[in-house]
């Protein structure tokens, strides 16, 4: 059944061959030393502009690593383009990516540090039909833990600065590795105030 689900997600572009591999958390731990400076030894980043990886779906992490590698190889025309991550993923094999994903997925995410934001909570749970803004809860869940089986990441407790930056990138189209442009189609309708409010709510989730 698990293989069937992965095959379906692979066909939909929600995962790729790297994220479909079985990762080994112990092997990933040994390979994670290069990640610690930005993402923390346990995946809880000490630097606000970088994402927390602890507790994130292993398949999602593997996909992002593969997308960074693709982005570097295509000059940003495909995948996810980032000058810092390009160097980090250059020598990684698909198995390395799966192992890193497994390691960080096994770590415990720190509790959210963001302040409560009622406007952000309203948009997160209800969206705004008149502006064609889809509610975030549909993909990321009421608790912000995401839907690993569908390829949707956890956002609970994520760093506020990182969340804001990614929504802006989706809005501007400089991040374009979302399947079927789902995030870009939503983010393009968000104002700066919307992004700030939603990001605060997500960062406050435990």
The reported pTM is 0.89
Question: Can you give the pLDDT at residue 10?
Answer: 54
pLDDT tens per residue, range 128-178:
999 999 999 999 999 999 999 999 999 998 999 999 999 999 999 999 999
Mean per-residue pLDDT, 66-91: 91
Listing DSSP states for the chain in one string gives -HHHHHHHHHHHTSS-HHHHSPP-HHHHHHHGGGGHHHH-TTS--SSTTS---TTS-HHHHHHHHHHHHHHHHTTTSSS---HHHHHHHTT--HHHHHHHHHHHHTSPPPPP-PPP-HHHHHHHHH-BGGGTB--THHHH-TTS--BGGGTBPP-TT--HHHHHHHHHHHHHTS---SGGGHHHHHHTT--HHHHHHHHHHHHH--
């Amino acid at each position: 059944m698990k293989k069937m689900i992965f095959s379906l997600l692979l066909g939909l572009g929600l995962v790729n061959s790297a994220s479909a591999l079985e990762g080994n958390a112990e092997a990933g731990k040994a390979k994670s030393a290069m990640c610690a400076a930005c993402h923390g030894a346990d995946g809880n980043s000490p630097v606000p502009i970088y994402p927390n990886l602890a507790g994130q779906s292993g398949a999602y992490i593997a996909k992002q690593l593969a997308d960074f590698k693709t982005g570097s190889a295509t000059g940003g025309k495909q995948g996810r383009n980032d000058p810092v991550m390009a160097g980090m993923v250059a020598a990684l094999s698909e198995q390395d990516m799966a192992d890193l994903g497994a390691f960080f997925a096994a770590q415990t995410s720190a509790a959210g540090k963001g302040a409560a934001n009622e406007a952000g909570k309203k948009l997160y749970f209800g969206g705004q039909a008149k502006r064609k803004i889809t509610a975030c809860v549909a993909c990321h869940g009421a608790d912000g833990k995401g839907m690993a089986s569908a390829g949707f990441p956890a956002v609970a407790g994520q760093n506020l600065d990182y969340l804001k930056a990614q929504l802006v990138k989706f809005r501007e189209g400089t991040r374009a590795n979302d399947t079927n442009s789902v995030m870009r189609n939503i983010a393009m309708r968000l104002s700066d105030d919307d992004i700030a409010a939603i990001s605060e709510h997500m960062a406050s989730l435990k």
